[in-house]
């Protein structure tokens, strides 16, 4: 390190005047000569370049290891020395922790970039009076660096944003933070607070003030009274330097805890890698052992104590055909149920909680995640895997055991379990793939169906063969014993046939039920994950009808097709028997079958256009009916019932006309089907007369076909005709698959908006940027936005204004990922919006849209939704939205139930309730599209005051310019671009487009 005395000529005027009052040295530093900041009496001003700070371990005066990067100090900022602490864990740190003795210590190390220059001085020089103004900015920046280090890059979702006021009272559980860009100092006069919510960082009454920024927070542990001051006030009152020293003493032990936690996490990751390698090795050995002894591999599993919940979830997922992803750090305060929900969300699948009723393990409910009771409030996860349709086994991942579930094992489980639902692959699907998806795990049932069909077909041979024997041998000989034996054989064959049909029926029901459960859940999962633009092409009723079409296809295929296939197997045996008795008559039967199939196919194909048109019309009618029911109030207000009835009647009449034409063809087909057996029998008898006549040279008394053989042939032919009629009848039902698939095809062909490989956005900070965004709603329409570029910083409060059609609401839709720009990019925290998980982004955005609606249910459900939040959270959100008094005046308070449309609330109340719903999760970004348009002035001032205090990025779409006077910036849109931007006062002073808009509103 090269040192020189500072020369005043080397600095600008203000810097030279400042440095001339400080005794210090100027240093040229770089990455080749780092230094330790372990002297609390020294400070360093960065004159040029930048300096990176690292937390390093120093053993006997020597740095051990590379350390952990903490922060980067830029040009013009000051670094303060801090006393090191012992590297080894110490008793719970307090604000009066003492510096570590020489030996094993944790120290801050500074490494500058090449060419950097520092000015090193004594801190006592900065404590003089003539540095009052400058030192405030230096300390605020330094404190912001240290606070960011402890916060770890996580944003703060505070309950209250503090302002400089004395004697503020807060109840336990509240999170207190500073407003955007502020550094405040908090002193507790009573109660206990926790810095960053960490129990090892208490802030007790009477202690030195603690700094809080917009990235850090204090959690109230006990009812607390605090005083909040800004840095200048603290300086003038003489508490700044003691407060900074106290914060340094708080910071270093906290940093040690974080460093040791990182070290433990690294060791844990290394241990998990080793365990994974060991598990893979043991799994390979187990697979080899399974070749020779399957029972050996099935009898035990490898115990997993590192993450038993995910291990159990993975077993359930593997059995259900779902690939689960391990959960990132969810925090120690997350409940087990919430962790299961987060694992499912991370894996982009759905799950639900089910109740284990008595005897549940004797029914097929699929793989489930359950919990084994270990104590009054303790349970360990386990996997419930089906062994058959009526039995389960319990896989305990902690013990590494498998046990069949009986009454005793079931009694050890808690009463609830979780089921995971397998989604469709994120690609366009054909019907074949959908059926293959639903048929997973049903191979044994299909084999059983085939076996029952074969056995039924074989038993069907008994009747014609016995008939032939009976009339050829038994009756002519009057053989009573043989007659009784034949009767017994027929009875046994009938009983066997009934048994086979019963088994086949149960197998068919099981196939239908399991396919319906898996396919229908996957269809609605796909529907919920489709892009928003997909829904613009269909009405609600039409879309519901299309979605249910998948179930209709499945029902046709698993009932009609399965029955037809089994009838075909059944008829093959009878068909072969025809050739056994007479190949000439069998050829006649073949010709008759071809005529029947051809006639049925032609009639069925003629019904296809009618089927397609009727289903299309039914979808339109269902959409119309749902719209009419939802808008019944508006229809009555405008006396539009007759017109709507006429519209419905016209659609219904057209649908009935189409159905009538289809039924005519169906009636003709039924006549053909009904007449065919009689006509076929006549053709067979006629063929007997013509084809089986005795030739002239035949031996007298030698018949070509005896009576018994003919009756056996006729019996087999009857069975063949019955199976053929069943197949041709099923053909009319099966043909409906074509129009059904055409209607459901858009759902199966559309790809979900979030891909499986989409990156997790992490916790957003609120940084947003549009870069050269161009967007239009249709290829033939003019662009709504043209090369639009703008950006906002985390915590900024901005508004978009402009005339109707300028693109304000389009910006909100683009930010939510509802639409994709034609060109340009949208970035959140520097990440492309359409390259990350949109659902994870939306969970961190609170939205109040122009046409937002409330759902049927209680006020609490409408505010909280599915989030795991408490009643206090709902009341806090209602208070921020100016809705608290309205709710308290209702007889049931938060449990007041709203009907569909929330007609019992005024327009302003509905709007405030939607604002509360957007605020309750404390999102990182808040989007308000005309959210206060229906509020009176008093309520609007309450809401605006609450919004002003929020520590999040807020974007407001507004027409009422009186609501945006306190915005940090206002973007004025016109013609798809930004024509002006600035604060309210600046834009009014420019006397431009915005000022003209304001004057128009004043005139009105």
The ranges of the chain annotated as CATH 3.90.70.10 are: 300-421
Percentage of residues of the chain with pLDDT beyond 70: 86
Q: Which among 8-12, 23-27, 241-245, 805-809 has the top mean pLDDT?
A: 241-245
Residue 824 neighbours by CB distance under 10 Å: 17
Q: Which of residues 513 and 1003 earns the better pLDDT score?
A: 513
Among 76-80, 523-527, 998-1002, which stretch is predicted with the lowest mean pLDDT?
998-1002
> Which pLDDT value is given to residue 499?
83
Name the strands in the sheet holding 217-220, side by side, starting at the edge strand that comes first in the sequence.
160-162, 175-178, 217-220, 192-195, 202-204
pLDDT tier at 444, thresholds 50, 70, 90: confident
Residues with Cβ within 8 Å of residue 131, at least 6 apart in sequence: 18, 21, 125
pLDDT tier at 559, thresholds 50, 70, 90: low
Query: Residue range 314-341: average pLDDT?
Result: 78
Burial class (CB in 10 A: 0-12, 13-18, 19+), 186: buried
2-153+228-258 folds as: Jelly Rolls (2.60.120)
Inform me whether the pLDDT recorded for 906 exceeds 60.
yes
Burial class (CB in 10 A: 0-12, 13-18, 19+), 100: buried
Q: Distance between CA 282 and CA 276 in Å, rounded?
A: 10
Query: Residue range 888-905: average pLDDT?
Result: 82
Rg, C-alpha atoms of the chain: 40
Query: Residue range 488-505: average pLDDT?
Result: 81
Q: Distance between CA 401 and CA 941 in Å, rounded?
A: 63
Q: Which of residues 472 and 312 earns the better pLDDT score?
A: 312
Inform me whether the pLDDT recorded for 103 exceeds 90.
no
Inform me whether the pLDDT recorded for 270 exceeds 50.
yes
Query: Residue range 631-659: average pLDDT?
Result: 76
> Which pLDDT value is given to residue 851?
72
3-state DSSP assignment of residue 426:
coil
Q: Distance between CA 786 and CA 823 in Å, rounded?
A: 9
Q: What does the block give as tokens for 556?
A: 């046709």
> Which pLDDT value is given to residue 702?
46
Asked if 191 contacts 224 with a C-beta cutoff of 8 angstroms, the reply is yes
Inform me whether the pLDDT recorded for 630 exceeds 80.
no
Asked if 546 contacts 622 with a C-beta cutoff of 8 angstroms, the reply is no
Model confidence pLDDT, tens digit, residues 166-196:
888 888 878 888 887 789 999 988 888 888 8
Inform me whether the pLDDT recorded for 466 exceeds 80.
no
Query: Residue range 651-663: average pLDDT?
Result: 78
Look over the chain and give the mean of its residue pLDDT values, rounded to a whole number: 79
Query: Residue 275 to residues 310, 344, 404, 724, 790: CA-CA distances in angstroms?
Result: 15, 24, 28, 62, 49
Bridge partners for 188 per DSSP: 226
Q: What is the pTM of this model?
A: 0.69
Q: What does the block give as tokens for 816?
A: 């939510």
> Which pLDDT value is given to residue 971?
92
Model confidence pLDDT, tens digit, residues 664-707:
877 777 777 778 777 877 877 777 777 665 555 544 544 566 66
Residues with Cβ within 8 Å of residue 860, at least 6 apart in sequence: 871, 874, 894, 895
> Which pLDDT value is given to residue 224?
87
CATH class of 768-1003: alpha beta
Model confidence pLDDT, tens digit, residues 810-828:
898 899 888 889 999 999 9
Inform me whether the pLDDT recorded for 623 exceeds 80.
no
Long-range contacts of 256-264 (CB under 8 A, 24+ apart): 256/85, 256/86, 256/87, 256/89, 256/90, 256/93, 256/106, 257/93, 257/198, 257/200, 258/150, 258/152, 259/55, 259/68, 259/106, 260/89, 262/68
Inform me whether the pLDDT recorded for 12 exceeds 50.
no
Model confidence pLDDT, tens digit, residues 720-752:
777 777 777 666 667 777 777 778 888 888 888
Q: Which of residues 805 and 129 earns the better pLDDT score?
A: 805
Q: What does the block give as tokens for 350?
A: 């759905």
Query: Residue range 533-562: average pLDDT?
Result: 75
Asked if 63 contacts 109 with a C-beta cutoff of 8 angstroms, the reply is yes
CATH class of 300-421: alpha beta
Query: Residue range 32-40: average pLDDT?
Result: 88
852 φ/ψ angles, rounded to the nearest 5 degrees: -65, 150
Query: Residue 258 to residues 44, 244, 462: CA-CA distances in angstroms?
Result: 25, 20, 83
Asked if 249 contacts 97 with a C-beta cutoff of 8 angstroms, the reply is yes
Q: Distance between CA 367 and CA 349 in Å, rounded?
A: 15
Query: Residue range 329-338: average pLDDT?
Result: 66
> Which pLDDT value is given to residue 207?
85
Model confidence pLDDT, tens digit, residues 336-361:
888 888 888 888 888 888 898 888 88
Burial state string for 318-329 with b = 16 or more CB within 10 A and e = fewer than 16: ebbebebbebee
Query: Residue range 647-660: average pLDDT?
Result: 79
Inform me whether the pLDDT recorded for 631 exceeds 90.
no
Query: Residue 941 to residues 180, 254, 516, 926: CA-CA distances in angstroms?
Result: 20, 41, 53, 18
> Which pLDDT value is given to residue 79?
92
Q: Distance between CA 19 and CA 14 in Å, rounded?
A: 9
Model confidence pLDDT, tens digit, residues 368-397:
999 988 877 778 889 999 888 788 999 888
Q: What does the block give as tokens for 979?
A: 């024509």
Model confidence pLDDT, tens digit, residues 387-438:
887 889 998 887 777 889 988 888 888 888 999 998 888 888 887 888 788 8
Inform me whether the pLDDT recorded for 607 exceeds 60.
yes
> Which pLDDT value is given to residue 269?
74
Longest dimension (CA), the chain: 144
> Which pLDDT value is given to residue 535?
81
Q: What does the block give as tokens for 768?
A: 């947003």
> Which pLDDT value is given to residue 94?
45
Q: Which of residues 405 and 301 earns the better pLDDT score?
A: 405
Inform me whether the pLDDT recorded for 994 exceeds 70.
yes
Inform me whether the pLDDT recorded for 98 exceeds 50.
no
The ranges of the chain annotated as CATH 1.20.1560.10 are: 431-695+702-749
CATH 3.20.20.70 given to domain 431-695+702-749:
no
Model confidence pLDDT, tens digit, residues 758-778:
777 888 888 899 999 999 887
Inform me whether the pLDDT recorded for 455 exceeds 70.
yes
């Amino acid at each position: 390190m090269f040192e020189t005395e500072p020369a005043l000529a080397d600095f600008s005027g203000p810097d030279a005047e400042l440095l001339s009052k400080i005794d210090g040295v100027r240093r040229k530093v770089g990455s080749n000569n780092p230094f330790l900041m372990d002297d609390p009496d020294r400070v360093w001003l960065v004159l040029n370049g930048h300096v990176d700070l690292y937390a390093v371990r120093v053993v006997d005066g020597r740095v051990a290891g590379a350390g952990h990067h903490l922060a980067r100090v830029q040009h013009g900022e000051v670094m303060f020395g801090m006393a090191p602490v012992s590297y080894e864990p110490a008793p719970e740190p307090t604000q009066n922790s003492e510096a570590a003795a020489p030996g094993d210590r944790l120290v801050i190390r500074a490494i500058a970039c090449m060419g950097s220059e520092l000015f090193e001085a004594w801190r006592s020089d900065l404590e003089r009076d003539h540095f009052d103004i400058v030192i405030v900015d230096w300390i605020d920046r330094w404190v912001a660096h240290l606070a960011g280090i402890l916060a770890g890059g996580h944003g703060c979702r505070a309950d209250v944003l503090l302002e400089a006021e004395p004697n503020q009272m807060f109840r336990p559980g509240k999170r207190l933070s500073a407003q955007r860009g502020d550094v405040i100092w908090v002193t507790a006069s009573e109660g206990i607070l926790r810095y960053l919510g960490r129990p090892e960082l208490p802030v007790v009454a009477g202690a030195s003030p603690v700094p809080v920024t917009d990235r850090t927070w204090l959690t109230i542990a006990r009812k607390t009274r605090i005083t909040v001051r800004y840095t200048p006030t603290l300086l003038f009152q003489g508490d700044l330097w003691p407060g900074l020293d106290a914060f340094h003493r708080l910071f270093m032990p906290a940093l040690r805890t974080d460093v040791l936690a990182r070290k433990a996490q690294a060791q844990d990751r290394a241990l998990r890698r080793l365990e994974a390698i060991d598990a893979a090795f043991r799994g390979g050995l187990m697979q080899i052992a399974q070749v020779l002894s399957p029972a050996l591999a099935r009898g035990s599993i490898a115990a997993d104590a590192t993450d038993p919940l995910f291990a159990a979830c993975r077993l359930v997922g593997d059995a259900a055909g779902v690939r689960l992803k391990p959960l990132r750090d969810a925090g120690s305060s997350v409940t087990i149920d919430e962790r299961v929900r987060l694992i499912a969300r991370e894996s982009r699948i759905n799950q639900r909680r089910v109740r284990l009723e008595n005897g549940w393990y004797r029914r097929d409910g699929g793989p489930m995640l359950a919990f084994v009771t270990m104590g009054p409030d303790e349970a360990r996860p386990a996997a419930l895997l089906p062994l058959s349709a009526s039995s389960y086994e319990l896989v305990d991942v902690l013990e590494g055991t498998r046990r069949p579930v009986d009454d005793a094992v079931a009694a050890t489980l808690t009463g609830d379990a979780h089921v995971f639902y397998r989604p469709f692959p994120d690609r366009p699907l054909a019907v074949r793939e959908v059926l293959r998806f639903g048929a997973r795990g049903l191979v044994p049932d299909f084999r059983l169906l085939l076996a029952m069909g074969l056995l039924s077909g074989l038993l069907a041979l008994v009747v014609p063969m016995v008939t032939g024997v009976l009339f050829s041998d038994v009756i002519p000989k009057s053989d009573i014993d043989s007659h009784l034996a034949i009767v017994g054989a027929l009875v046994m064959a009938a009983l066997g046939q009934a048994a086979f049909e019963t088994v086949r029926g149960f197998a068919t029901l099981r196939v239908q039920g399991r396919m319906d459960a898996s396919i229908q859940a996957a269809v609605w999962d796909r529907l919920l994950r489709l892009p928003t633009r997909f829904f613009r092409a269909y009405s609600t009723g039409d879309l519901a009808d299309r979605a249910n079409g998948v179930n209709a296809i499945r029902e046709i295929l698993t009932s009609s097709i399965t029955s037809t296939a089994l009838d075909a197997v059944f008829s093959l045996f009878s068909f072969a028997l025809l050739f056994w008795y007479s190949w000439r008559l069998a050829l006649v039967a073949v010709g008759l079958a071809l005529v029947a199939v051809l006639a049925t196919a032609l009639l069925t194909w003629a019904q296809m256009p009618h089927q397609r048109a009727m289903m299309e019309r039914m979808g339109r009618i269902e959409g119309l009916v749902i719209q009419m029911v939802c808008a019944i109030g508006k229809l009555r207000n405008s006396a539009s019932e007759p017109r709507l009835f006429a519209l419905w009647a016209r659609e219904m009449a057209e649908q009935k006309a189409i159905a009538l034409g289809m039924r005519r063809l169906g009636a003709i087909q039924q006549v053909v089907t009904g007449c065919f057996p009689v006509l076929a029998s006549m053709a067979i008898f006629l063929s007997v007369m013509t084809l089986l006549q005795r030739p002239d040279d035949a031996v007298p008394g030698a018949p070509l076909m005896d009576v018994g053989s003919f009756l056996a042939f006729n019996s087999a032919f009857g069975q063949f005709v019955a199976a053929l009629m069943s197949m041709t009848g099923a053909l009319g039902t099966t043909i409906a698959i074509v129009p059904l698939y055409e209607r459901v095809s858009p759902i199966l062909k559309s790809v979900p908006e979030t891909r499986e490989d989409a990156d997790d956005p992490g916790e957003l900070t609120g940084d947003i940027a549009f870069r050269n965004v161009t967007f239009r709603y249709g290829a033939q329409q003019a662009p709504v936005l043209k090369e639009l570029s703008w950006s906002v910083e985390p915590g900024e409060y901005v508004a978009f204004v402009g005339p109707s059609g300028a693109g304000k609401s389009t910006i909100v839709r683009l930010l939510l990922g509802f639409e994709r720009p034609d060109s340009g990019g949208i970035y959140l925290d520097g990440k492309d919006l359409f390259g990350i998980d949109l659902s994870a982004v939306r969970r961190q955005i609170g939205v109040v849209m122009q046409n937002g609606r409330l759902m049927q249910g209680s006020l609490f459900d409408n505010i909280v939704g599915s989030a795991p939040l408490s009643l206090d959270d709902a009341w806090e959100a209602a208070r921020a939205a100016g809705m608290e008094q309205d709710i308290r005046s209702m007889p049931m308070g938060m449990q007041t139930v709203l009907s569909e449309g929330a007609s019992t609330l005024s327009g302003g109340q509905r709007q405030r309730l939607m604002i509360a719903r957007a605020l309750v999760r404390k999102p990182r970004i808040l989007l308000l599209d005309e959210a206060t348009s229906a509020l009176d002035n008093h309520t609007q001032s309450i809401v605006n005051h609450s919004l002003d205090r929020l520590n999040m990025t807020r974007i407001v779409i507004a027409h009422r310019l009186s609501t945006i006077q306190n915005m940090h910036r206002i973007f004025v849109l016109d013609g798809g671009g930004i024509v002006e931007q600035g604060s309210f006062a600046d834009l009014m002073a420019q006397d431009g487009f915005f000022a003209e808009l304001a004057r128009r509103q004043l005139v009105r």
